Amino acid sequence: MRPPSGKAFVGLIFVYRLFTTGRMVENAADPALMPGQLLARGVSRALASHGFACMEEVTPTPGLRVDVMALGPRGEVWVVECKSSRADFQGDLKWQGYLEWCDRYFWAVDSAFPVELLPDDSGLIVADPYDAEIVRMAPEARLAPARRKALIQRFATQAARRLQAVRDPGAGLEPR
């Protein structure tokens, strides 16, 4: 089978970006992803190989958007923030707000990132665009049952809207 090219390739790039980010992109023909998106892809692939269902750029609550949210095979919820540089990490002022929306919180960085900048009381994943490895397991802080239920429902709703928009892009259904 030949790899897609031309309009088919552009369409696949558009579908990938829409499904992973939940947003329409202005230049769907540009296959280049941002460094953080490449890390998120590697993290998602690795976690999926361990039975997790992953989605990128999830909004657990209005005003917060996590890079990767993963639902585990036993119902656990992990959040992974992908940082591609020192400036990216130092400019992130919202990450502590993510802690109350997961059972485990991780940082994902590439192998060149200065990991001494990252807090010791969170997990650490070293990733590249194609895979990742958990270097330090995050401590567990179990979600309250009511919050878990609401969060999983929100995750499912966002995933379903993204899939619906991919299957019927002419319907004008912008994923939320």
> What is the Cα–Cα distance from 76 to 59, expressed in whole angstroms?
17
Strands 64-71, 132-136: pairing is unpaired
Q: How far apart are CA 159 and CA 118, in angstroms?
A: 30
pLDDT at 4 over 80: no
Domain ranges of the chain: 1-32, 33-165
Bridge-partner residues for 123, per DSSP?
106
Instruction: Locate all alpha helices (DSSP H) within the chain, ordered by sequence.
Output: 6-21, 35-48, 86-90, 145-167
Tokens (6 digits) for 55: 């989605």
Instruction: Say whether pTM exceeds 0.75.
Output: yes
User: Counting Cβ atoms within 10 Å, is residue 173 exposed (0-12), middle (13-18) or buried (19+)?
Assistant: middle
Cα torsion through 36, 42, 135, 83, rounded to 10: 0
Q: What's the average model confidence in pLDDT over 63-77?
A: 95
- For every residue of 111-152, which 3-state class applies, written as one string? CCCCHHHCCCCCEEEEECCCCEEEEECCCCCCCCHHHHHHHH
Q: Name the pLDDT band for 75 (thresholds 50, 70, 90).
A: very high
What is the reported pLDDT for 168? 87
Q: Is the pLDDT of residue 73 over 90?
A: yes
Whether residue 1 is predicted with pLDDT greater than 80 in this model: the reply is no
The mean pLDDT of 67-96, rounded to a whole number, is: 95
Which CATH number is correct for 33-165, 1.20.120, 3.40.1350, 2.60.120, 3.40.1130?
3.40.1350
Of residues 13 and 118, more confidence is placed in 118
CB 73 within 8 A of CB 114: no
| For residue 7, pLDDT beyond 70 | no
Report the share of the chain in percent with pLDDT over 90: 72
Helix (H, G, I), strand (E, B) or coil at 155: helix
